[in-house]
């Protein structure tokens, strides 16, 4: 038996209540139906996704291996061994595209080191969807992940952006949305710069707006605790 492949499977980025199987490409469903080994960030989320796209999927005979921020090298190499034994393995993060701000990146790197084919599948990425809808610079952009948790360090990181051109993309834990928003509008200069806030993308509470910092200061905006992308340009 030859080596298997690594399939990178995007999962919905909105709440489970908003899940619409019709938004999942048929070819992705066809591939998933043929897999019975998965490396996942969250087993519960992954099982629900599989059942949503195919109620008849054989969950009981499916193997799940955990790959998350606590995983050690041995955990990644356990998945590699499964692939070397001839198993095709699907990778799923808890939300969005695996490998983008996600532990799946390390597994992909190990597969490349071992000449394993990696197959990215089409699906939602809040980072790219937010940039697409922002109206900001899509020719030159940088993803920064999370801003620092500590307020003074976060403000220092925001102020440093004045030295850089292009679009700068951040994600944040929903309960810190308002703090991050206020730190950006109160500390980013010049005020002619723009900020896009993209909340709950593809979900029922989706809201996306882009305005100059100067105008946002006057709008008295209160952000709810939904998954949010911040883009500064």
Q: What is the pLDDT of residue 202?
A: 87
Rounded-to-integer distance, Cα 1 and Cα 16, Å:
38
The closest of 223, 200, 35, 9 to 107, measured between CA atoms, is 9
Phi then psi for 146, rounded to 5 degrees?
A: -95, 145
Give the predicted TM-score (pTM) of the model: 0.84
* 199-212 pLDDT tens trace: 999 888 999 999 99
Mean pLDDT, the chain, whole residue set: 90
Confidence of residue 1 (pLDDT cuts 50, 70, 90): low
- Is the confidence at residue 83, as pLDDT, over 90? yes
Interior CA angle at 19 toward 129 and 9, to 5°?
A: 60
Rounded-to-integer distance, Cα 130 and Cα 136, Å:
10
- Is the confidence at residue 69, as pLDDT, over 90? no
- Are 219 and 209 in contact by the 8 Å Cβ rule? The answer is no
Q: Residue 81 class from Cβ within 10 Å (0-12 exposed, 13-18 middle, 19+ buried)?
A: exposed
Domains of the chain (ranges, CATH numbers)? 6-120 (3.40.1010.10), 126-232 (3.30.950.10)
* 117-146 pLDDT tens trace: 999 998 888 899 999 999 999 999 999 989
Enumerate residues 6+ apart whose C-beta is below 8 A from 166. 137, 139, 140, 141, 142, 233
Rounded-to-integer distance, Cα 221 and Cα 223, Å:
6
Rounded-to-integer distance, Cα 73 and Cα 49, Å:
27
How is the chain split among helix, strand and coil, in percent rounded to 5? 40, 20, 40
* 144-169 pLDDT tens trace: 989 999 999 999 999 888 777 899 99
- Is the confidence at residue 20, as pLDDT, over 90? no
* 169-193 pLDDT tens trace: 999 989 999 999 999 999 988 778 8
Rounded-to-integer distance, Cα 81 and Cα 119, Å:
18
20-24, 51-55, 62-66, 79-83: the lowest-pLDDT one? 20-24
SS3 99: coil
């Amino acid at each position: 038996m030859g080596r298997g492949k690594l399939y990178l499977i995007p999962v919905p980025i909105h709440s489970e209540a908003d899940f619409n199987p019709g938004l999942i490409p048929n070819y992705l469903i066809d591939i998933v139906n043929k897999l019975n080994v998965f490396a996942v960030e969250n087993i519960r989320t992954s099982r629900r996704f599989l059942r949503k796209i195919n109620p008849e999927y054989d969950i009981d005979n499916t193997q799940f291996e955990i790959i998350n921020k606590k995983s050690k090298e041995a955990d990644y190499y356990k998945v590699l061994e499964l692939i070397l034994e001839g198993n095709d393995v699907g990778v799923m993060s808890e939300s969005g595209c695996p490998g983008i701000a996600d532990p799946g990146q390390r597994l992909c790197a190990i597969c490349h080191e071992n000449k394993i084919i990696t197959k990215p599948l089409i699906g939602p990425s809040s980072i790219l969807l937010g940039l697409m809808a922002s109206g900001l610079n899509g020719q030159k952009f940088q993803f920064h992940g999370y801003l620092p948790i500590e307020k003074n360090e976060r403000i220092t990181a925001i102020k440093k952006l004045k030295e850089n051109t292009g679009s700068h993309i951040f994600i944040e834990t929903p309960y810190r949305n308002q703090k991050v928003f206020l730190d950006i509008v109160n500390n980013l200069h010049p005020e002619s710069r723009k900020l896009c806030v993209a909340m709950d993308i593809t979900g029922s509470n989706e809201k996306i707006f882009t305005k100059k910092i100067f105008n946002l200061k006057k709008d008295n905006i209160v952000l709810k605790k939904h998954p949010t992308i911040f883009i500064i340009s």
